[in-house]
Amino acid sequence: MAGRRMRTKAEISELGWSGIAVAAVALSALLFGLPTDWGNAHTALFAVGCMAVAFSPRMQMWPSWPHFHSATLAVAAITVGVQFVAPFAFASALCGTLIGFLVIRRKVSFIELVSSAAGPTLKSVLCTAVFVLTSDGSSTASSPVTQSLLFLVAWHTISAIQNSLVHPPVSRSLADGRIAGFTVSLLDFSSNLTAAVPLSAIVTEQSWFYPIYLLGPILSIYWVTAMEASSERKLSEGVLMLHRMMQTSNPKSMRHMKRVAEYGRQTAIKLGISEGDADLVEVAAIVHDIGKVAVDEDILDFPGRISQEEMDHVRTHAAIGGEILGTVPAYHHVATWVRHHHERVDGTGYPDSLAGEAIPLESRIIAVVDAYDAMVGGPDADDWRSYQPRRTTDEAIGELWRCAGSQFDETVVAAFTETIKEAKPI
Amino acid sequence: MNELVVMLFTFGCAAVTLAAIIWVLLFQHSRFEKKYRASLATVSAAVEARTGAKGHSDWIRKLSDQVARSLKCSKHQRKCIEIAVYVREIGLVTVPYKQLRGKPRNQWTVEEWKVFDRHPEVGASMLSLVPALERVAHVVRCHHAPYSGTPQSYLPAGAELPIESRIISTVNEYVERYCSQGSVLARDVLIEQRGTKFDPKVVDALLSVLTSPGVKRRLEPTFKP
């Protein structure tokens, strides 16, 4: 499955990071020698405290998602790494990861352990380097505020680079069971802040306990966001189950869903719909034919004309789909879009015979993308519809334009044509 | 002045933290949980649209929750039951539509019953792709397994069956019989198969739930059988 492939890719890039981190550790040990001065006891105590606080919510949040543990460890690593003792930062991150995996009772390979500790170590070492460089020698950045800002900038830049490598520009398709990208970045941001605050507390020494108080609100806000995100992910689990149901009952429709979801998302963004709502359009596109579980498969796959009665039976799928999704309050928009995805702009569609602007924009998008994919299909022969011949991309777009104004919305068709021209074949 | 600012700052931070934690613990946590379980209700809605048994899952969920309470199941087990009730019939998507809707069950051939009897296994294999639903998948796999076991079955029997499956299978049978044959015959079937197909403890608990006056009113079916 796609999920499996992604993980392997991420593992490989994490392996790369661990290599770099080990090199960095070796280099720092070579340049600075092993640490002789551990600073005060506060530092060590503080590190332990941060770890405890940061671990408790996370462990419950992602019992099956080791990726995020590495971000947590940054908190521990940074507090020790502040003294530029990279080996110790690495060791603490390693211990933290081990504890983390023990807590979630999951077996862990050595490579996994090292690589998930290496990311935060590298981050903390690099950021500390920025810190040390700006506080010593240079006279331009002397105030703690400037230092903290510089640190934050460095931290976020490195995280961004790291995230884009470790989580490769995720297709973010719900079909692969991933959560919305925005929520991830929000989570990352708050965890980064959590790490930054104790650091500035330690370095600005004279009033290092003030920022600790800030840690409370920040952590709790982070916690709330984390819960929201996990519930979001779990919501998408419901969609995933529906998706799997359809896949089992009708394997042919699976790849069709994937393409419709991707094109639907891109077209929605073209039409000025925000990222968050485009995610919902993607959900709607994945499940738009869920009503077909209540339709006879033999009629759906019948290669030829079907009677009026059978046609009416097939047509119930739009209303049934809306009904199914309507059971979840969080999806009541999606339910409306799914219900109307067979309406026509001239008002002769079903189930409610809406016309023009009365049809939700999202339904019009799904209608266009669905029709296009029904005509063109995927690269494999068994993707093609049994009741009509396959057409080329140009023919299909010509057909869409021919029906624009009667069956489809013209602006949507225009946006979709652009999307198709830019898109790679899926 | 400076000290006052520091004090206000400190207390402000502490207040925000406490408020957020209390807010989450008291109000949000259960809301998130409910949202999640509600999302799985779409699955039961989809299956019911296929089988035509609208509203059954909801009633089964209510009844089995009461049974689980009276059997002193843990909160965790009750949640598992709720999810399993929603997704238990997901394997029915592999049963042809004509068979499910076109024919009454007493006219099915042996072949058709074989296809139908595979649905717990199919459902479980679909669910086991989601790591968080591992336990639920096992419960779904066993949700039609007889309590006394069958010689050729690879499923566990007796006390080795998960308690969740035992409850669901009993309540499921009752609700289906209730809809096709009425409440009296449904109870008779439970009593008849007490100890063979169903766990005697669960049957007793269900019968007492059904006859206890306080519970009865709330557990009326929400649909016309």
Reported as a single tens digit per residue, the pLDDT across B41-79 is: 888 888 888 888 888 898 899 899 999 999 999 888 998
Q: Which range among A143-147, A240-244, B80-84 has the greatest average pLDDT?
A: B80-84
- Yes or no: say if A274 and A362 are a contact pair by the CB < 8 Å rule: no
Q: Which range among A9-13, A71-75, A187-191, B107-111 has the greatest average pLDDT?
A: B107-111
Range name among A8-12, A277-281, B110-114, B219-223 with the lowest pLDDT average: A8-12
CA atoms in the 13 A half-sphere facing the CB of A269: 11
**A381-407: average pLDDT:** 79
Range name among A300-304, A387-391, B131-135 with the lowest pLDDT average: A387-391
More confident residue, A404 or A374: A404
More confident residue, A185 or A359: A359
The CA dihedral of B166, B171, B172, B173, to the nearest 10 degrees, is 90
pLDDT digit string, tens, across residues A140-186:
445 555 655 566 566 656 665 555 444 433 333 333 333 333 334 44
Q: Which residue of B has its CA nearest to A218?
A: B17
Nearest chain B Cα distance for residue A318, angstroms? 12
Best to test chain A binding among B33, B39, B121, B122 (most A CBs inside 10 Å): B39
- Yes or no: say if A400 and A420 are a contact pair by the CB < 8 Å rule: no
Q: Which chain A residues in 202-241 lie under 8 Å from chain B, judged by CB atoms?
A: 210, 213-214, 216-217, 219-221, 223-224, 227-228, 230-231, 234-235, 237-241
Q: Which residues of A touch B99 (CB under 8 A)?
A: none
**A77-103: average pLDDT:** 52
A189 touches chain B (CB under 8 A): no
pLDDT at A62: 35
Pair of tokens at residue A406: 């009667």
Of A217, A228, A293, which has the smallest distance from its Cβ to B20's Cβ? A217
**Which long-range contacts (C-beta less than 8 Å, at least 24 apart) are formed by A343-349?**
A343/A367, A344/A406, A344/A407, A344/A408, A345/A405, A345/A406, A345/A407, A345/A408, A345/A409, A346/A405, A346/A406, A346/A407, A349/A407
- Yes or no: say if A219 and B67 are a contact pair by the CB < 8 Å rule: no
Range name among A64-73, A324-333, A375-384 with the lowest pLDDT average: A64-73
Q: How far apart are CA A271 and CA A277, in angstroms?
A: 12
pLDDT at A350: 87
Q: Which residues of B touch A217 (CB under 8 A)?
A: 13, 16-17, 20
Q: Which of A75, A82, A90, A95 is nearest to A22 (CA)?
A: A90
Band (A37; pLDDT cuts 50, 70, 90) = very low
The CA dihedral of A202, A208, A211, A212, to the nearest 10 degrees, is 80
- Whether the pLDDT of residue B192 is over 70: the answer is yes
Overall size of chain A counted in residues: 426
- Whether the pLDDT of residue A294 is over 80: the answer is yes
pLDDT at A421: 86
Of B32, B46, B93, which has the smallest distance from its Cβ to A227's Cβ? B32
**A360-366: average pLDDT:** 92
- Whether the pLDDT of residue A12 is over 60: the answer is no
A254 touches chain B (CB under 8 A): no
A410 touches chain B (CB under 8 A): no
- Whether the pLDDT of residue A39 is over 60: the answer is no
Q: How far apart are CA B57 and CA B81, in angstroms?
A: 11
pLDDT at A154: 65
pLDDT at A368: 93
More confident residue, B218 or A334: A334
Preceding omega of A35 cis (within 30 degrees of 0): no
Task: Say how many CB pairs under 8 Å bridge A and B.
Answer: 136
Band (A44; pLDDT cuts 50, 70, 90) = very low
Work out the mean pLDDT of chain A and round it to a whole number. Answer: 64
Provide the residue type at A368 as one letter: V
**Which long-range contacts (C-beta less than 8 Å, at least 24 apart) are formed by A85-92?**
A85/A28, A85/A34, A85/A35, A86/A24, A86/A25, A86/A28, A86/A29, A86/A121, A86/A125, A87/A25, A87/A28, A87/A29, A87/A34, A88/A35, A89/A121, A89/A124, A89/A125, A90/A21, A90/A25, A90/A117, A90/A118, A90/A121, A92/A47, A92/A51
pLDDT at A55: 40
Q: Which of B100, B107, B122 is nearest to A247 (CA)?
A: B122
**B135-151: average pLDDT:** 89
A60, with CB counted inside 10 A (0-12, 13-18, 19+), is middle
B76 touches chain A (CB under 8 A): no
More confident residue, B129 or A311: A311
More confident residue, B202 or A142: B202
Q: Which range among A65-79, A235-249, B98-112 has the greatest average pLDDT?
A: B98-112
Q: Which chain A residues in 297-326 lie under 8 Å from chain B, judged by CB atoms?
A: 297-298, 320, 323-325
**A386-392: average pLDDT:** 70
- Three-state DSSP at B198 gives strand
- Whether the pLDDT of residue A426 is over 90: the answer is no
Of A237, A295, A320, which has the smallest distance from its Cβ to B39's Cβ? A237
Cβ <8 Å between A216 and B10:
no
pLDDT at A185: 42
**A82-94: average pLDDT:** 52
pLDDT at B180: 85
pLDDT at A376: 83
- Whether the pLDDT of residue B100 is over 60: the answer is yes
**A51-58: average pLDDT:** 39
| Angle A4-A6-A9 from CA coordinates, rounded to 5° | 115
Nearest chain B Cα distance for residue A204, angstroms? 16
Work out the mean pLDDT of chain B and round it to a whole number. Answer: 84
Nearest chain A Cα distance for residue B161, angstroms? 24
Q: Which range among A376-385, B54-63, B64-73, B126-135 has the greatest average pLDDT?
A: B64-73
Cβ <8 Å between B38 and A223:
no
pLDDT at B162: 93
Cβ <8 Å between B126 and A248:
yes
More confident residue, B8 or A287: A287
Other Cβ atoms closer than 10 A to B97: 21
pLDDT at A108: 53
In sequence order, which residues have a C-beta less than 8 Å from that of residue B137 and are 6 or more positions away?
A: B123, B124, B125, B127, B128
Residue B198's DSSP bridge partners are: B194
pLDDT at B67: 94
| Angle A332-A286-A352 from CA coordinates, rounded to 5° | 50
Pair of tokens at residue B111: 């072949």
Q: At what angle do helices A66-81 and A110-135 cross, to 10 degrees?
A: 40
